[in-house]
Amino acid sequence: MPSNSSGHIVILGTGGTIAGTAAAAADNVGYQAGQLGVAQLVAAVPALAAHALEARQLAQVDSKDMSHALWQQLAAAVAEELAREDVQAVVVTHGTDTLEETAWFLHRVLAATKPVVLTAAMRPASALMPDGPQNLLDAVTVAATPGTRGVLCVLAGRVLGPEDVRKVHGYRVDAFAADEAGPVALVQEGQVRALRAWPQADPGEAAALQVAMQRPVAQWPRVDIVTSHAGCDGALVPALVALGSRGLVAEGTGNGTLHAALEVALRVAQAQGVAVWRASRCWAGGVVGQPEGALPSAGVLTPAKARVELMLQLMLRA
């Protein structure tokens, strides 16, 4: 696929390790995320001068601290840029820790037809061999390539879809995987090699969500995750309901199975009107099938993405 630099690409900076710095170049863990501005990240990659870019700093956060308020702001900013005729794509620099949740959120609320490319890095910008510059160049390459569309995550030469992308390693540069589906595309030497269809979200639901998410984030429905584990007693469930949880995602074992004590507590919550879904704590495979009488399955979504999805669905019901 040839590259096309005819329209502007807007790069929105939100922080993360890609913008992080450490006191010593050999230190890849003792750094502070979100220190360099997005304009500095762009300036560090000479090859980006070939593209018509605009850089806009939206936030400077370590993405472990991602908030619904920042998601609200980010979705509005991306939508605003995509609506511009002279903008062909948006790139978002982000932290790796919650990148998959932001990707799912933006996928569902934007249903973007232009590319919205999230990228990140595992090593700070001050590292001896930072991965951020190549990831940023690859993200812009994907954004500039005709035919690409939807929310895409570009890391370590792979383009991963919002449904499948998942951080699977806490340290390695190649830290992301795409479950069994595999990457949507590869970026190789400045060329995008498409492997399967670009992600597509429901535009009708996205339009309704854009209206629903205008309300103050304190009014967004609270959805929590509870984990099934050895020795689980389910006591967290009524505590979360008392805190105002309107949805609970149970991070189950195996194919979404639950400790009997947790399941009893979840069924009580469900009878009280709380929406309950079962996901899996396994790193791949999701939950397959929906046996008669079982609590509803989150399907292929990880517990973290299922939490986002249940929150969005509750927003649509409100």
Name the token pair of 9: 């690409």
In angstroms, what is the minimal distance from the CB of 82 to ligand SIN? Answer: 24
Instruction: State which of residues 72, 89, 97, 295 lies at the interface with ligand SIN (CB under 6 A).
Output: 97
Closest distance to ligand SIN from the beta carbon of 159 (Å)? 18
- Binder among 55, 58, 63, 100 for ligand SIN (CB under 6 A): 63
* 133 contacts ligand SIN (rule: CB under 6 A): no
Are the CB atoms for 142 and 152 separated by under 8 Å?
yes
165 Cβ neighbours under 8 A, 6+ residues apart: 99, 100, 103, 153, 176, 177, 178
Q: How many CB atoms lie within 10 A of CB 234?
A: 21
Stretch of 47-55, 90-98, 149-157, 195-203 contacting ligand SIN, by CB under 6 A: 90-98
* Contact predicate 234/264, CB 8 Å: yes
Nearest-CB residue to ligand SIN? 95
Which of positions 106-125 make contact with ligand SIN (CB under 6 A)? 120, 122
- The pairing of beta strand 275-280 with beta strand 53-61: unpaired
Amino acid type, 269: A
Binder among 28, 70, 82, 95 for ligand SIN (CB under 6 A): 95
Contact region with ligand SIN (CB under 6 A), list: 10-18, 100-108, 138-146, 217-225: 10-18
Shortest approach of ligand SIN to residue 153 CB, angstroms? Answer: 13
Q: Give whole-number Cα distances, 169 to 96, 176, 177, 237, in Å.
A: 10, 7, 9, 29
Write the binding mask 28 to 57 for ligand SIN: x where contact by CB under 6 A, - elsewhere. Answer: -----x------------------------
Separation of alpha carbons 128 and 273, rounded Å = 53
62 binds ligand SIN (CB under 6 A): yes
Q: How many residues bind ligand SIN (CB under 6 A)?
A: 12
Output 17 or 88, the one with its CB closest to ligand SIN.
17
CA atoms within 13 A on the CB side of 2: 3
Enzyme catalytic residues: 17
How many whole angstroms separate alpha carbon 240 and alpha carbon 224? 7
Rounded CA-CA distance 224/125 in Å is 34
Closest to ligand SIN by CB, 13 vs 252, is: 13
- Verify binding: residue 161, ligand SIN, rule CB under 6 A: no
Among 16, 183, 199, 303, binds ligand SIN (CB under 6 A): 16
Binding site for ligand SIN (CB under 6 A): 15-17, 33, 62-64, 95-97, 120, 122
